[in-house]
Chains A and B, each alone.
Chain A
Amino acid sequence: MRHFRTFAAASLLLLVIVSPALADIAPPDRKKVERPDAIRTDLPYGHMTIETVEGLREARLQVPRDILAKLAPAAPNAAGLVDGAPSGGFRNLSTVVAGLFLSLSLVLAGLLLVRSRRRVAGRAIAAAVVCVVASVAAAVAAYANAAPPPGWRVQDPGTLRKAVSGKPLAGSVRVEAVDVGSEIKLLIPARDGKGDDEE
């Protein structure tokens, strides 16, 4: 009974604390607009080289099969309920709920510490540490300042910029999926060939 009272008091305290929260106000209308400077972290990435190949008669774009597989449309869900990425609406909701439960965990951990009085129980400290670690992890997830993983960084075009000289370059390429290697290659014939010739 005492635990239920403690739990009820903690819940009440939590509700009082979060009452000024703006969780019930509709979030601002943030429609996703595709901007040219946006980093498309949802797309796969890879290193690319442009090579001229002696004897090649037509340009060829070689894409590793691994990258193509990541571009494939998702199959119907099976044996599990986890896929895709959360949308903006869910992110707003999840932030609010996560905040509520983090507050609840801190309040409960605090009550445990108070209950242990002068005898600072090891387990209460452990619970407090868990809550602090969870809070830090959540804060890191929300406002991470660490270097993002490779897929999330701006992909450096390197010397590929030299391939363009202000004027757009155009021509037909064969797209080929390759099993070996992880690099995307654009192979350009070294000399002009006759496109109509039979291979």
Chain B
Amino acid sequence: MQSATDIGPLRVAADGATPHASGDARTAHDSAAANAVAASSGVVFALACACVIASSAALAGFAPLGLSVATVFLFAGPHNWVELRYFITRLPARLSRSRNFFALAAAGVLLLTASYAALALGANSSVWGGEELYAGVAVWNSLLVAWVAALVFMRGKLSRRDWAWALPAGSALIALNWLAPQALSLSLVYLHPLVALWFLDRQLKRTRREWRRAYHLALALLPVALTLLWWRLASAPSIAGDDAVALRIVRHAGADILPSVSTHLLVSTHVFLETLHYGVWLVALPLAAGAVGVPWRLQSIPLVRHRDGWPRTIRVLLAAGAFAVVALWLCFVKDYATTRDVYFTLATAHVLAEVPFLLRMI
């Protein structure tokens, strides 16, 4: 999937594998120097991660509403485009045995996104009462869990691993969902940003192994930052502001589901995780992917490069995506609150698309 040029350790190994008879010592020295450079770059990466985690947590704690508005406006569209680019890159030119897996994945993304949008429309209309809406959310969550369990099971079969446990675990999760559907929906809101961190870990394992340990150390700061946020904001007064944007942000963070928790704490936690999510997709993942991750180098995409690929379709798709990003910015400028609603409804597609591609990388 990726060229050898963007894999640091392989290059080092290649140097060491063919030592010149007269230059053994020099080659060993070069190899050690390369290892040292790789290790130091890992430390720099970890330090950058730690700085981003600390500054995001601090900003989210001090100005949750402002940070939420700014990050969604600036990064929501671009990060979707980068995700699209990344997923296209990870899509093999020939599906062969994975055909059914990707067919189920695509059908699930399309149907679940469409049904989620229909639910959102139903929720905003007077056609549905609270009971119908609850049942609708529970059914949607059940379909989502069933889809994920089926994908896990299929992926297990493809990779010759016994992942049949996904079926009973999925059934149990569906049962719990029916007891508290709103809890599962809220957990998706908070867990989705963390999936990006998992993607980054898998990408580092492929292309920057020497950074991985440092990255894991930096990740240990995440629970520390969350604990600090919760400790400082547990008794903070709720966010003042009753305008449309503030109400949407507060409700999105789960203020209605957790009424006894300070909205300041909820919004800060959510925007902190979202900021990390954007940072990973827009900066860390392209950096970790190396040459493959450079957005404008379309030749690194198998579906563009391969003779059985669809180069024109991919180019049009990415150009349309870039156009959509600009359109989203314009819509945000025109009517931020409504655009935010529409965006978070349609953005379900990228949340869902992450599932099959993450499974492919495990």
- Per the 8 Å Cβ criterion, residues 130-156 of A in contact with B are 130-131, 133-135, 137-138, 141-142, 149-151
Q: Tell me the complex Cα distance, A179–B168, Å.
A: 50
Chain B binding surface, main DSSP class: helix
Q: Which residues of A contact B176 (CB under 8 A)?
A: 98, 134, 137-138
Q: Of the 9-residue stretches A26-34, A55-63, A74-82, A168-176, which lies at the interface with chain B?
A: A74-82
Asked if B247 contacts A78 (CB within 8 A), the reply is yes
Q: Which residues of B contact A87 (CB under 8 A)?
A: 130-131, 134
Asked if A80 contacts B185 (CB within 8 A), the reply is yes
Asked if B182 contacts A83 (CB within 8 A), the reply is yes
Asked if A66 contacts B237 (CB within 8 A), the reply is yes
- Per the 8 Å Cβ criterion, residues 166-211 of B in contact with A are 167-176, 178-182, 185-186, 189
Residue of A nearest to B337 (CB): A78
Asked if B341 contacts A127 (CB within 8 A), the reply is no
Asked if B179 contacts A77 (CB within 8 A), the reply is no
Q: Tell me the complex Cα distance, A133–B169, Å.
A: 10
Render A103-125 as a binary contact track against B, CB cut-off 8 A, 1 for contact.
01110110010010000010110
Q: Tell me the complex Cα distance, A7–B123, Å.
A: 35
Q: Which residues of B contact A90 (CB under 8 A)?
A: 131, 134-135, 138
Minimum distance in angstroms from A21 CB to a CB of chain B: 15
Taking a contact as CB atoms closer than 8 A, the residue among A44, A98, A126 that contacts B175 in the complex is A98
Q: Which residues of B contact A83 (CB under 8 A)?
A: 182, 251, 256-257
Q: Tell me the complex Cα distance, A77–B344, Å.
A: 13
Please tell me if A102 contacts chain B, counting CB pairs below 8 Å: yes
Number of interface residues of A (CB under 8 A): 57
Q: Which residues of B contact A104 (CB under 8 A)?
A: 168, 171
Chain A binding surface, main DSSP class: helix
Q: Which of B165, B174, B248, B345 has the most CB of A within 10 A?
A: B165
User: With A79-B251, A80-B344, A130-B172 in contact, is A112–B186 under 8 Å at CB?
Assistant: no
Q: Which residues of B contact A123 (CB under 8 A)?
A: 162-165
Q: Tell me the complex Cα distance, A189–B326, Å.
A: 62
Q: Which of B136, B138, B172, B174 has the most CB of A within 10 A?
A: B172
Q: Tell me the complex Cα distance, A86–B129, Å.
A: 11
Asked if A97 contacts B119 (CB within 8 A), the reply is no
User: With A74-B256, A151-B260 in contact, is A81–B171 under 8 Å at CB?
Assistant: no
Q: Tell me the complex Cα distance, A121–B340, Å.
A: 47
Q: Tell me the complex Cα distance, A142–B179, Å.
A: 9
Report the number of A-B residue pairs with Cβ-Cβ less than 8 Å: 156
User: With A69-B238, A89-B131, A134-B175 in contact, is A108–B167 under 8 Å at CB?
Assistant: yes
Q: Which residues of B contact A81 (CB under 8 A)?
A: 116, 119-120, 123, 133, 136-137, 140, 185
- Per the 8 Å Cβ criterion, residues 44-96 of A in contact with B are 44, 65-66, 69-70, 74-84, 86-87, 89-90, 93-95
Q: Tell me the complex Cα distance, A142–B136, Å.
A: 21
- Per the 8 Å Cβ criterion, residues 111-145 of B in contact with A are 116, 119-120, 123-124, 130-131, 133-138, 140, 142
Please tell me if B259 contacts chain A, counting CB pairs below 8 Å: yes
Q: Tell me the complex Cα distance, A135–B237, Å.
A: 37
Taking a contact as CB atoms closer than 8 A, the residue among A86, A102, A130 that contacts B131 in the complex is A86
Please tell me if A167 contacts chain B, counting CB pairs below 8 Å: no
Render A179-193 as a binary contact track against B, CB cut-off 8 A, 1 for contact.
100000000000000
Q: Which residues of A contact B169 (CB under 8 A)?
A: 105, 127, 130-131
Q: Tell me the complex Cα distance, A123–B240, Å.
A: 48
Q: Which residues of A contact B131 (CB under 8 A)?
A: 86-87, 89-90
Taking a contact as CB atoms closer than 8 A, the residue among B133, B168, B174, B178 that contacts A127 in the complex is B168
Chain B positions near chain A (C-beta within 8 angstroms) = 116, 119-120, 123-124, 130-131, 133-138, 140, 142, 153, 162-165, 167-176, 178-182, 185-186, 189, 237-238, 240, 247-248, 251-252, 254, 256-257, 259-260, 337, 340-341, 344-345
